[in-house]
Amino acid sequence: MSQSFIPQSVGPLQGRLGGVSETFVPGLRYRSRAHQLWALVVESFGEWERRLNEASATTGLSPVSAWALVQLDPERPISQKELAARLRCNPSTVVNPTDRLEERGFVVRQPNPVDRRINVLVVTPSGVCLREELIERLFEPPEAFRRLPADEAERFRDVMLAAVTGNPAPGAGR
């Protein structure tokens, strides 16, 4: 484990990460290693937000519309209600972004073949191309990840997968 992850302060539960705490939340003190880890994950979201803003700006879409397009599977049309569930927001919130996507020709609303009372969002061919471009830009690993040795990257992936799924990481308890 790198030295920068070891608390630097008065006691083991009031640590700071050298060079990180002050740039993220001035005066932040970590109560545990899990607290430190979570703060690092949250801080990393800033890079994600920057990427999403840049990628959406190049397409002329708002970040919300761009992310909505990314969440649409071209092979499985879904309703706006299902899209809202994916985006973890109120269904009324997705009306404007999907209207923008439809106006630009990236999606069309069509009756659901199973239940014609419900419209589904279908990604158009130009929407598929733009979605692929957005996914490529958003999920390109940052340089710091590409520099990790393969075994560390694999372990980090396994630990993050365990954190997200709640299942033990492969090789846990070694």
Q: Write 84-90 long-range contacts (CB < 8 A, 24+).
A: none
CA dihedral 12, 13, 16, 17 (to 10 degrees): 70
**Average of per-residue pLDDT across 47-71:** 94
Residue of higher predicted confidence among 170 and 98: 98
Q: What is the mean pLDDT of the chain?
A: 85
Asked if the model's pLDDT at residue 62 lies above 50, the reply is yes
Highest mean pLDDT among 41-45, 70-74, 113-117: 70-74
Q: Which residues contact 152 (CB under 8 A, 6 or more apart)?
A: none
CATH class of 62-151: mainly alpha
Asked if the model's pLDDT at residue 10 lies above 80, the reply is no
The two three-digit tokens of residue 78, written as one number: 């879904």
> Which sequence spans correspond to the domains of the chain?
1-46, 62-151
The predicted structure's pLDDT at residue 36? 83
Distance of alpha carbon 9 from alpha carbon 98, whole angstroms? 49
